């Protein structure tokens, strides 16, 4: 049910028809994000995301929200490291209205000075909200040092000093050069006919001339391995461990998903059972995977009381060394395969998730990856594939970075980690 069409003006249109859905999710995806920024304009992509909702010559910001709300629909947007998205979810009968709104927001955003001034304050509050949330903020800190000197180390929200000096012309220039038709992918999933949808997109986006632009050179990051401490008066101490992973297009990402599920990707994982259930030292603990177009990270995150920091770090280190030394079992391999496939199937019950999957396949692979191919890749993973990957990414404790946010005995932590 997958179809793809490239329009004359450079826009890629991709659909997945699911006749039994009563809704349709439509997304405008651009191959741009915080990775395509620099120190002086970091945060500009996220700022532009906000400005797209501030009205056009045909609609006020209220009109945009009201038209979607009146149909019980959803309109939202987000900015990532390597892509940005504006999307709606509506009933099939409201598709024309949704396309018209998305087209209007893309082609005719006002970027009015008074809206820009208001949004400075809004985004400043968003930045402070993240900084006040240590479980989120620690990822920004970890990335800032692990990818120091590289765009992947910069936050998506940007630096406050940059937000203060963004002006209308600067925003417009970045928008026109980065949100071009050649970088635009329009995806639709749900009760949609591809040919009909393409004709509607052609009509609504015919005013968009063929536009290209240079995102700038993409460089592969060189991780900076270190132990970093950030003292803050918090009730808990937050820990984030990270090491090299694999890219979004690396076939080893599937064994990495398996390793992630076993170590900390679920409530039955090693870390959750050992640290939370058996010892009661933490409320939450999990491992994570981040895959980018040319690199990636694998890590563990948790928080605990100041007096338990050393014990928790010791348990994390023990688990890393145990996996590296002993590997995984056949039972763990099969369990994780079933876990991942189950999560995948359940996610596909959402038209929004399927719409996102279409877009990411196009962004990273330039094609559609059928579900059966993904399942086949998962099923063919052998225990040695996971063990070899674990051996590679858990190479040596000195190559695994640790970020500590809160209160801790610095010398004791360093001594334990390096011993």
pLDDT digits (tens, 9 = 90+) for 101-152: 999 999 999 999 999 999 999 999 999 999 999 999 999 999 999 999 999 9
Tens-place pLDDT, residues 368-398: 999 999 999 999 999 999 999 999 999 878 8
| Domain CATH code at residue 36 | 3.30.830.10
191 shares a domain with 100: yes
Band (215; pLDDT cuts 50, 70, 90): low
Please indicate whether residue 49 is annotated as part of the active site. yes
Give the model confidence (pLDDT) of 300-336 as tens digits. 999 999 999 999 999 999 999 999 999 999 999 999 9
Do 188 and 241 lie in one domain? The reply is no
Give the model confidence (pLDDT) of 162-178 as tens digits: 999 999 999 999 999 99
Average confidence score pLDDT of the chain: 95
Domain range for 165: 2-204
Residue 219 is assigned to a structural domain of this protein: no
Average pLDDT over every residue of 224-233: 94
Read off the pLDDT band of 74 (50, 70, 90).
very high
Q: Which two tokens stand for residue 326?
A: 């002993």
Do 36 and 94 belong to one domain? yes
Residue pair 61/133 in contact by the 8 Å Cβ criterion: no
Whether 314 is covered by a domain: the verdict is yes
Active-site position among 16, 37, 49, 67: 49
Residues 60 and 158 grouped into a single domain: yes
For residue 211, the model assigns a pLDDT of 75
On whether residue 215 sits in a domain, the answer given is no
Q: Read off the pTM.
A: 0.95
Residue 87 has a pLDDT of 98
Q: Is residue 232 pLDDT above 80, yes or no?
A: yes
pLDDT of residue 367: 93
- Whether residue 217 is contained in a domain is answered as no
């Amino acid at each position: 049910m997958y179809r793809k069409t490239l329009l004359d003006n450079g826009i890629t249109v991709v659909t997945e028809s699911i006749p039994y859905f009563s809704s349709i999710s439509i997304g405008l995806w651009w191959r741009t994000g915080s990775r395509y920024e620099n120190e002086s304009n970091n945060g500009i992509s996220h700022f532009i995301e906000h400005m797209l909702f501030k009205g056009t010559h045909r609609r006020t910001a209220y009109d945009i929200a009201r038209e979607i709300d009146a149909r019980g629909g959803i309109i939202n947007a987000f900015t990532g490291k390597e892509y940005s998205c504006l999307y709606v979810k509506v009933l099939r009968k409201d598709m024309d209205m949704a396309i018209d709104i998305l087209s209007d927001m893309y082609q005719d955003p006002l970027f009015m000075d008074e809206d820009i001034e208001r949004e400075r304050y809004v985004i400043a509050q968003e930045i402070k909200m993240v900084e006040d949330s240590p479980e989120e903020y620690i990822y920004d800190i970890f990335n800032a040092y692990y990818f120091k000197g590289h765009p992947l180390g910069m936050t998506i929200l940007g630096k406050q000093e940059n937000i203060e000096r963004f002006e209308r012309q600067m925003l417009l220039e970045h928008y026109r050069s980065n949100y071009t038709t050649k970088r635009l992918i329009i995806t639709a999933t749900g009760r949609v006919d591809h040919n009909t949808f393409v004709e509607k997109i052609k009509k609504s986006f015919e005013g968009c001339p063929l536009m290209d632009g240079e995102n700038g050179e993409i460089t592969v990051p060189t991780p900076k391995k270190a132990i970093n401490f950030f003292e803050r008066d918090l009730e808990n101490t937050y820990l984030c461990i990270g090491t090299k992973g694999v890219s979004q297009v690396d076939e080893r990402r599937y064994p990495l998903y398996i390793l992630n599920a076993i170590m900390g990707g679920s409530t039955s994982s090693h870390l959750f059972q050992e640290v939370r259930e058996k010892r009661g030292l933490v409320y939450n603990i999990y491992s994570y995977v981040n895959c980018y177009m040319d690199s990636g990270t694998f890590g563990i995150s948790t928080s605990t009381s100041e007096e338990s920091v050393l014990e928790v770090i010791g348990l994390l280190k023990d688990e890393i060394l145990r996996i590296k030394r002993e590997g995984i079992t056949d039972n763990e391999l099969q369990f994780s395969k079933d876990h991942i496939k189950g999560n995948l199937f359940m996610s596909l019950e959402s038209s929004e998730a399927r719409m996102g999957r279409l877009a990411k396949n196009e962004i990273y692979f330039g094609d559609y990856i059928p579900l059966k191919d993904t399942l086949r890749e998962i099923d063919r993973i052998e225990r040695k594939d996971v063990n070899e990957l674990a051996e590679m990414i858990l190479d040596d404790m000195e190559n695994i970075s640790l970020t500590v946010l809160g209160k801790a005995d610095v010398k004791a932590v360093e001594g334990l980690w390096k011993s």
